Amino acid sequence: MISVNVTFIDQKIQQIEISGHANFDRHGKDIVCAGVSAIVYGSINAIDQVKKNQIEFKIKEGYTFIKVKKDSSNLQLLLKMMLVQLQTLEETYGQFIKINQLMEV
């Protein structure tokens, strides 16, 4: 299962950690993993081009970590767009992807 942990502080996304594998199908045929990868890589690339140096991120096999370094309303919009896309996958493939939202004050 893919686990997505989103940490909010004062209702703003501060970090996103994605780990695991969907195991929906075999490697190369797993549409859930492919969907998550496309959403996450596309979002990171867009943020990196539009809002340079506002996030730090790590990407490894089966693991991605995104942390806000310098917040802005445009950055929050891009991060929320990524979250909504992942939630759309979760609605259909909930046994393969789980999103946890952690609210901090």
Answer positive or negative: Cα dihedral of 24, 86, 43, 13: negative
Q: Is 81 a catalytic residue?
A: no
Cβ atoms of residues 81 and 43 within 8 Å: yes
CA distance 97 to 68: 23
Q: Is the dihedral of CA 105, 73, 66, 52 positive or negative?
A: negative
Q: Is 78 a catalytic residue?
A: no
32, 33, 40, 44: which one is catalytic? 33
Catalytic option among 5, 20, 21, 30? 21
Active site residues: 21, 33
